Amino acid sequence: MKKNTSILFILICIVSLSSALGQTQDTKLSISHLTGDFFIYTTYNTYEGNKIPANGMYLLTHEGVVLFDTPWDTTQFQPLLDSIQLKHHKKVSICIATHWHSDRTEGLAYYKKQGIKTYTTTLTDEWSRKNGKKRAEFLMTKDTLFTVGQHPFTTYYPGPGHTADNIVLWFEQEKILYGGCLIKGTDASDLGYLGDANVLEYENSLRNVQKKCPKPKFIVISHSDWHNNNSLKHSIRLAKQLKKKNTTTDKH
């Protein structure tokens, strides 16, 4: 009888574990606390046959929630809003996208319809229009200081890198750098997709970020874990190698 009970217990554990693993694999949206009023949200999409995470961020303020970039997964536009409402009892009031690729801009039109103020730079809008991507309602013509509720932050265009239009966001009070796709994780062996990149200017643009945003306590990046704070330095090394390789190739 004890033997049968033990076998039954093991079977229940296996079923429970399989169910848990299945739920993890099927996760479409996850939210993690970064620090203070800052939260990271992650959605997923398939690229070249692999499931790739895409990190965005949101900030709680007295005047609503500020969303940085939009979900890559089109099924998660509303679930993200619902999750924020349920978790914090606040609504998203502003959304800012950091460059024209779909993993940053795909939800702009949807959020505009929900009454959320959507922003990109004029350069991002130009590239979005050229490539048939979603566009924002409000355009920034230069680096812009926002103050939403109790939180000031600055948008900064460092020059071309991952794309011609990529910007970062700098939260000077909290020393948080939101680097988007411009900065790669320390586990990256290269700078990823370079189809729209400026390989010769990438290093300079990253060094501009380093000067503008000194000694960040957190560096939030799009497609890797953000816990390692050496991602900017690592990306500069990768960009330097890339520039050297392409400069050498050009000479031949």
Domain enclosing residue 173, as ranges? 29-251
Please check whether residue 22 lies inside any domain of the structure.
no
- The number of domains in the chain is 1
Domain membership flag for residue 152 = yes
Distances (CA, A) of 69 to 37, 55, 191, 233, 250: 17, 9, 20, 23, 36
Residue 14 has pLDDT above 80, yes or no: no
Residue 9 confidence (pLDDT) above 80? no
Q: Is residue 19 part of a domain?
A: no
Report if residue 1 sits inside a domain.
Answer: no
The predicted model scores a pTM of 0.88
Query: For residue 96, what is the domain's CATH number?
Result: 3.60.15.10
Could you read off the pLDDT of 163-204 as tens digits, one per residue? 999 999 999 999 999 999 999 999 999 999 999 999 999 999
pLDDT digits (tens, 9 = 90+) for 40-83: 999 999 877 788 899 999 999 999 999 999 999 999 999 999 99
In a domain, 24, yes or no: no
The phi and psi torsions of 202 (rounded to 5 degrees) equal -55, -50
Residue 94 located in a structural domain: yes
Strand order in the sheet with 145-148: 145-148, 151-156, 168-171, 176-180, 218-221
181 phi and psi, to 5 degrees? -85, -10
Confirm whether 198 is domain-assigned.
yes
**Residue 222, domain member (yes or no):** yes
22-41: burial string, b at 16+ Cβ within 10 Å, e else: eeeeeeebeeeebeebbbbb
Binning pLDDT at 50, 70 and 90, where does residue 3 land? very low
